[in-house]
Amino acid sequence: MAFGRSSRDRRPVEPVTLKILVAGGFGVGKTTMVGAVSEIRPLRTEERLTEAGRPVDDLEGVEAKTTTTVAMDFGRITLREDLVLYLFGTPGQDRFWFLWDELAQGALGAVVLADTRRLEDCFAAVDYFERRAIPFAVAVNCFEGADLFPTGTVQAALDLDPEVPVLLCDARDRSSVRDVLVAVVEHALARVDAPREPATT
């Protein structure tokens, strides 16, 4: 009679690690999103907003914000025993864009976090990932008091390709953020597995 290996004899699974970026406009909730889902204490590089930054940091709609990410946020979540995501939250202000190329290296995909009250603030992130062919999903952070729109309306407003996932989420809620991350991974892997068009001569 053949016996299977007991659980004690099984070798531990070496998980696949994937890098996901969390991007979007200033004050949209990127730091909150990484912190809500991270199973480790997230690394944050936040500094207090100062008067010196007022001419370059647009606080319209986020007047109560007192800190800003100046380098990145970092967190980690295990989706399955064999799949771990490393999350890198990007800074939102234009003056920190030089960091994006460094953070984007080796990324499987990205989340573009959006606020319908300031939807134009995520155009730059959408354009960035489209130009670099990095798969991404748009997650609409449902702020209290903000108008809710159908995902199709958001997709049209951002002029997204039909296959780009658009989801409603609460960046404070772990399960909501996890659903967004699963959608990004599935979308990115589908892009990788999709048959490529033959080159024309």
* Mean pLDDT (10-residue bins), the chain, 201 residues: 55 87 91 94 61 47 47 88 94 68 94 94 94 97 88 96 97 97 96 65 49
Between CA 198 and CA 1 the distance in angstroms is: 52
Model pTM? Answer: 0.78
pLDDT confidence of residue 112? 97
pLDDT confidence of residue 149? 93
From the CB of residue 65, how many other CB atoms can be counted at a distance below 10 Å?
12
pLDDT confidence of residue 57? 46
pLDDT confidence of residue 191? 86
Which residue, 176, 166, 183, 163, is CA-closest to 33? 176
Rounded to a whole number of angstroms, the CA Rg of the chain reads: 19
pLDDT confidence of residue 49? 42
pLDDT confidence of residue 70? 47
From the CB of residue 185, how many other CB atoms can be counted at a distance below 10 Å?
19
Q: Please report which helix (H) or strand (E) contains residue 59, including its range.
A: none
DSSP state of 170: -
Between CA 29 and CA 26 the distance in angstroms is: 8
Which tokens belong to 128? 């960035």
